[in-house]
Amino acid sequence: MARYRLTDRTVLITGATGGIGTAGARALHARGANVVLLGRDASALAALARELGAERALPLRADVTDQAALDEAVERAVHRFGGLDVVFANAGTAPTRPATLATIDAEVFERIVEVNVLGTWRTLRSALPHVIARRGHILVNASVYAYVNGAANAPYAASKAAVEQLVRALRVELGACGATAGVLYAGWVKTGMTRVAFGGDPLATRMREAAFPRPFARAITPDLVAARVVKGIEHRAAALTVPRRWQALGALRGIANPLVDRALIRHARLQALLWSLEDEGERPTRQPAPATGAGAGVDGR
């Protein structure tokens, strides 16, 4: 397939004020694209647009849970640049501290689904007619959490698995019209979102170290992700995995996931950390594990 050139294309980026969004905006702009920067923080958006220059950068405030705001932002982008070729649906949120399904605050759970799933869907809903008209490309920022076990991070993992499925369906639905869609699966990236698991919260840090073997526990830079985003769009890639060390696990997930899950159930240190997440008074669904069987590792026996 011929390379899809980004020069003079118009790319809309949600979550443009965050780590990956900002790096992506810079990289796409450097490739010659007009960038439409969507976010909630007006001063951060304005600063990024100033850095890139007003000629090819348009900052617009929009919360991805707000369909009317997204519709308006897309219309303004189309009015300014004459159309919309590419969307990088990147905005997302994660719990600020680990929590189990038995104890997570319902509002926290629902907010994550609202932003990550409905926010992505609403972004697509506003932008799709324009991208289809231009035979462009949609890239959705999922995560390796689309297939990694989400223990203590379940709403995030569930939301990322959900957006992966949105894109699979979309890619097929777009098949006849010439537009394309792809999923970005990034591992740990050094951004505000992951600070909590890299020293920001001691328990979250210990859980990352316990649940992820060394090479998978390391974080990469947003710039590395941004470079792959550019290449992925230029190749209309269906799947983009960064860093590449996650690729085999993603490809073999049907075989690997049941084995990994079994290992995590028997992982004494991880089980002890999960146990410590739950306060004595909030354990309606968990009883101490018996000394034998799947949960026997909880107290190290």
Active site residues: 156
**Phi and psi of 239, rounded to 5°?**
-145, 135
Residue 79 near residue 92, CB atoms below 8 Å: no
For ligand NAP, which residue of 6, 49, 58, 64 counts as binding (CB under 6 A)? Answer: 64
Which residues lie closer than 8 Å to 15 by C-beta, 6 or more apart? 21, 38, 39, 64, 90, 91, 92, 141
Question: Does 40 contact ligand NAP by CB under 6 A?
Answer: yes
Under rule CB under 6 A, residue 194 binds ligand NAP: yes
Q: Interaction with ligand NAP in 122-181: which residues (CB under 6 A)?
A: 141, 143
Confirm or reject binding of residue 39 to ligand NAP (CB under 6 A): yes
Question: Least Å distance between CB 8 and ligand NAP?
Answer: 25
Q: Kindly tell me which residue out of 59, 95, 119, 155 binds ligand NAP, with binding defined by CB under 6 A.
A: 119
Stretch that binds ligand NAP, among 91-99, 200-208, 209-217, 279-287 (CB under 6 A): 91-99
What secondary structure does DSSP assign to 162-224, as a single string? HHHHHHHHHHHHTTTTT-EEEEEEE--B-SGGGGGGTTTSHHHHHHHHHHS-HHHH--B-HHH
- Kindly state the DSSP code that residue 243 receives in the 8-state scheme: S
Q: Is 174 within 8 Å of 128 (Cβ atoms)? A: no
Stretch that binds ligand NAP, among 45-53, 61-69, 76-84, 164-172 (CB under 6 A): 61-69
As a whole number of angstroms, the distance between CA 156 and CA 162 comes to 10
Please identify which residue in 9, 15, 57, 95 interacts with ligand NAP, judged by CB under 6 A: 15
Residue 235 has, within 13 A of its CA and on its CB side, a CA count of 10
The CB-of-39 to ligand NAP minimum distance in angstroms stands at: 5
189 binds ligand NAP (CB under 6 A): yes
87 φ, ψ (degrees, to nearest 5) = -120, 130
Q: Rule CB under 6 A: say whether 67 interacts with ligand NAP.
A: no
Kindly tell me which residue out of 4, 31, 63, 223 binds ligand NAP, with binding defined by CB under 6 A. Answer: 63
**What does the binding site for ligand NAP look like in residue numbers (CB under 6 A)?**
14-15, 17-21, 39-41, 63-65, 90-93, 115, 119, 141, 143, 186, 188-189, 191-194
